Amino acid sequence: MRLSLACEFTEVQPALKAMRRFLADQGCSLDDSSDCEIALAEGCNNAIKYAVGRSQPVEVKISCSAGEIQITVNDHTAGFEWPVQANLPAPDSEGGRGVYLIQAVMDHAEYLRAPSGNRLVMRKMRKDNFGPPAVNPR
């Protein structure tokens, strides 16, 4: 599944809804889908919040196999150093929870910086490991 989001926060909820439908169609568990929703929301929100000029879209790719869900978010920000292990910020902090949440709910996450744009790659091992639902021939 591929999505192209205008660089606006109002684009995030429809993208999350589309991903939920896609993952449900693939037979993913509600737990896995919820974790992916948190990760995608954080990835997209940061890509929009820190975008340079907000003129280029945020590109999202979601793929699902019998064993794994992969979400890729391409952004056009200045980028940042991805921490090996993020710490939860102080309770009164206004931000800084995104990377921590992504690392908490996903099995693997990496951030690749490039002059043409950056890529956040997140992977979740499926708990159900069943794959897409069987098609009922009639």
pLDDT tens-digit series, residues 23-60: 999 999 999 999 999 999 999 999 999 887 778 999 99
Alpha-carbon gap, residue 81 to 128, rounded angstroms = 33
pLDDT value, residue 18: 98
137 lies in a domain? no
Q: How many domains does the chain have?
A: 1
Q: Higher pLDDT residue, 109 or 93?
A: 109
26 lies in a domain? yes
Residues 77, 56 contacting (CB under 8 angstroms): no
**Domain at 81, CATH number:** 3.30.565.10
Give residue 39's domain range: 2-125
138 lies in a domain? no
Sign, CA torsion 16/20/23/28: positive
130 lies in a domain? no
132 lies in a domain? no
135 lies in a domain? no
